[in-house]
């Protein structure tokens, strides 16, 4: 009796079973859910969403709920995960033209329900994402439909949009880059010239990419600051925020720092709508520049991001630097353009062959010679025989399909045949064939022209938003507000919590304390609520870098 397939062999241990199951699960999460494929820059759910939108596309907006429903034919998961992924694509503003309330990446407000919002492709998406004739297809999970293995994207879309995902044992975090700078880098690579890529974030801000290191795994890092303007001695205005931070997170971090006594503020006013506008009102006597530095030190006004570019290459996860991803995508674009041009050349040659055959067939009235033919084979044989004197003028042999196609020409078309227009059409086809062949012979130049055309058509809509700068780290102890007092009592205990002792001077919770005890030993300790400094010290003071210590 044959053992059912779902029952594990008796010889297989439980440990071995779970090891296999875990590996299968890990592979599934990595390949099918969390990590984007390098070929087109999409995770499976994103690719299926775009495929479903392509099926529904008629140039008009479609309800997101309808798109989600159609995507479920290809994606074996819940509608919520599909809707969230679609909103994420729409908020990037590159492929999907949105209508309705799609949420706000600045404030973190969610999008409206799927039945209330609509989407369609942008012109850019139609230009670069789809090319059915060069797309590799596979059956959907239930075998009822076909879906693309990967979309033939002719642009480094993965780097333009960025990506983030967590899988079993690894994660991926690819930062977004500027549209025009990606095109410039692709052109430079095709010309054999050096190039450098730095991130550009939709939320703007000021970036220090000194340690970016081409997005190399484990070593690269960027620091991003909010743009804070000094409006007056009592007012700071935040107009741009770091990537990955919402206005709610930013304000909460400032309030928390103020409650802990690290920053002095009077109140915060949030007027954010389409653009960030957060007003930080300062109390009387506060130093705006010092407060500005403290905001960078103690709140989410400055964040540090470490990229981790993990992508799927040939069905395996692989860590790559940003420049290598761009080279791969540029080479892929060049290959897709080659395939498209080869298909176009084949179609043009076929069109030229049919137009030339039709012209010969009608101009020489070969259609009259078949009147006496009694059988179908005689008809085809007569046409073939009459065409042979003209065969040398053709670029391909005459096939049986060609003969059948000639018999299907309608009398109305024959009666209205215009030899001049036919010659014009053939000459146009010859020019197109010559140009297409030239494109193939000079494929690198053709690819460069492709990128230049994209930049000319769409580049003006994508200026750099994040300012590239270089700034040092803020010394937290130096900018912390001195809202505590250092005390020391008769027992030798010191700290800002020793309220019954003698006051030494004002301090913050991040200061250091310099002590010289009665034996002449010097030591420096971090200030605490209460610590033992020694009875009757010769000297005790709060010290900050770049300042003169106070003492007793």
Rg (Cα) of the chain, in Å, rounded? 35
Spatial distance between the Cα atoms of 201 and 104, rounded to a whole number of angstroms: 15
**pLDDT higher than 90, residue 32:** no
Structure letter (DSSP) for residue 147: E
In this structure, the chain runs to a length of: 552
User: Pick the catalytic residue: 18, 21, 25, 116?
Assistant: 116
Region of poorest pLDDT, from 111-115, 226-230, 298-302, 500-504: 500-504
Handedness of CA 431, 437, 441, 446 (dihedral sign): positive
Work out the angle at residue 56's Cα, subtended by the Cα atoms of residues 123 and 68, and round it to the nearest 5 degrees. 105
Segment 365-384 mean pLDDT: 90
* pLDDT given at position 13: 63
Mean pLDDT over the full length of the chain: 88
Give residue 7's pLDDT: 47
CATH for 340-461 is 1.10.268.10
502 vs 17: which has the higher pLDDT: 502
Q: pLDDT confidence of 535, banded at 50, 70, 90?
A: confident
Name the phi and psi angles at 289, rounded to 5. -70, -40
Domain ranges for the chain: 222-304, 340-461, 482-543
- Confidence grade of residue 8 (pLDDT, cut at 50, 70, 90): very low
Alpha-carbon dihedral sign for residues 12, 15, 19, 24: positive
In contact, 106 and 247? CB cutoff 8 Å: yes
The pLDDT value given to residue 458: 96
For range 182-206, the mean pLDDT? 95
Q: What is the pLDDT of residue 5?
A: 46
Average pLDDT, integer, range 161-177: 86
Terminal alpha carbon distance of the chain: 94
User: Between 509 and 549, where is the model more confident?
Assistant: 509
d(CA 147, CA 158) in angstroms, rounded, equals 20
Q: State CA 491 to chain mean position distance.
A: 62
CB 99 within 8 A of CB 61: yes
Is 458 annotated as catalytic? no
Window from 65-79, 115-129, 424-438 with minimum mean pLDDT: 65-79
222-304 CATH choice from 3.30.420.40, 3.60.140.10, 2.60.120.620, 3.30.1360.40:
3.30.1360.40
**Stronger pLDDT, 552 or 436, i.e. the higher one:** 436
- Rounded to 5 degrees, what angle do the CA atoms 509, 514, 517 make? 130
Helix, strand, or coil (residue 168): coil
Which residue do the tokens 């630097």 mark? 321
306: pLDDT strictly greater than 50: yes
């Amino acid at each position: 009796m044959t053992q059912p397939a779902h029952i594990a062999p008796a010889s297989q241990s439980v440990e071995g079973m779970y090891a296999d199951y875990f590996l299968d699960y890990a592979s599934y999460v990595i390949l099918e859910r969390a990590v984007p494929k390098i070929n087109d820059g999409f995770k499976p759910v994103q690719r299926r969403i775009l495929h479903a939108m392509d099926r529904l596309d008629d140039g008009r907006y479609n309800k997101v709920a309808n798109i989600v429903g159609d995507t479920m034919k290809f994606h074996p998961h819940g509608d919520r995960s599909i809707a969230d992924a679609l909103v994420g694509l729409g908020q990037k503003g590159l492929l999907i033209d949105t209508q309705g309330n799609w949420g706000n990446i600045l404030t973190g407000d969610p999008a409206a329900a799927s039945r209330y919002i609509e989407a369609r492709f942008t012109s850019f998406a139609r230009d670069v994402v789809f090319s059915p004739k060069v797309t590799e297809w596979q059956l959907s999970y239930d075998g009822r439909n076909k879906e693309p293995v990967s979309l033939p994207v002719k642009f480094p879309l993965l780097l333009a949009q960025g990506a983030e995902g967590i899988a079993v044992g690894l994660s991926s975090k690819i930062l977004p880059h500027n549209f025009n700078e990606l095109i410039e880098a692709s052109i430079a690579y095709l010309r054999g010239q050096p190039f450098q890529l730095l991130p550009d974030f939709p939320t703007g801000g000021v970036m220090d990419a000194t340690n970016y290191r081409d997005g190399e795994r484990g070593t690269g890092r960027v620091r991003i600051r909010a743009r804070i303007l000094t409006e007056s001695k009592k007012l700071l205005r935040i107009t741009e925020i770091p990537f990955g931070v919402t206005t709610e997170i930013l304000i909460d971090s400032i309030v928390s720092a103020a409650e802990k006594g690290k920053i002095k503020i009077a109140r915060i006013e949030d007027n954010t709508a389409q653009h960030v506008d957060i007003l930080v009102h300062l109390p009387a006597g506060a130093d705006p520049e010092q407060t500005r530095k403290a905001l960078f030190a103690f709140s989410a006004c400055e964040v540090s991001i470490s990229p981790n570019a993990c992508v799927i290459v040939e069905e395996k996860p692989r860590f790559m630097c940003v420049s290598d991803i761009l080279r791969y995508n540029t080479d892929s674009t060049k290959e897709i353009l080659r395939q498209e041009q080869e298909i176009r050349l084949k179609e043009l040659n076929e069109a030229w062959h049919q137009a030339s055959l039709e012209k010969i067939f009608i101009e020489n009235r070969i259609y009259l010679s078949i009147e006496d033919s009694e059988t179908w084979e005689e008809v085809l044989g007569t046409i073939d025989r009459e065409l042979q004197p003209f065969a040398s003028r053709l670029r391909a042999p005459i096939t049986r399909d060609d003969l059948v196609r000639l018999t299907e020409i309608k009398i109305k078309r024959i009666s209205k045949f215009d030899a001049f227009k036919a010659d014009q059409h053939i000459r146009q086809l010859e020019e197109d064939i010559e140009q297409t062949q030239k494109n193939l012979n000079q494929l690198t130049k053709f690819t460069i022209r492709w990128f230049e055309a994209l930049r000319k058509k769409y580049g003006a809509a994508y200026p750099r938003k994040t300012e590239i700068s270089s700034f040092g780290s803020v010394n937290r102890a130096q900018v912390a507000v001195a809202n505590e007092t250092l005390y020391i009592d008769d027992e030798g205990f010191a700290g800002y919590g020793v309220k019954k002792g003698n006051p030494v001077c004002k301090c913050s919770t991040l200061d250091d304390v310099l002590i010289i005890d009665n034996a002449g030993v010097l030591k420096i300790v971090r200030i605490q609520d209460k610590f033992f400094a020694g009875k009757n010290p010769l000297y005790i003071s709060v010290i900050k870098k770049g300042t003169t210590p106070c003492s007793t």
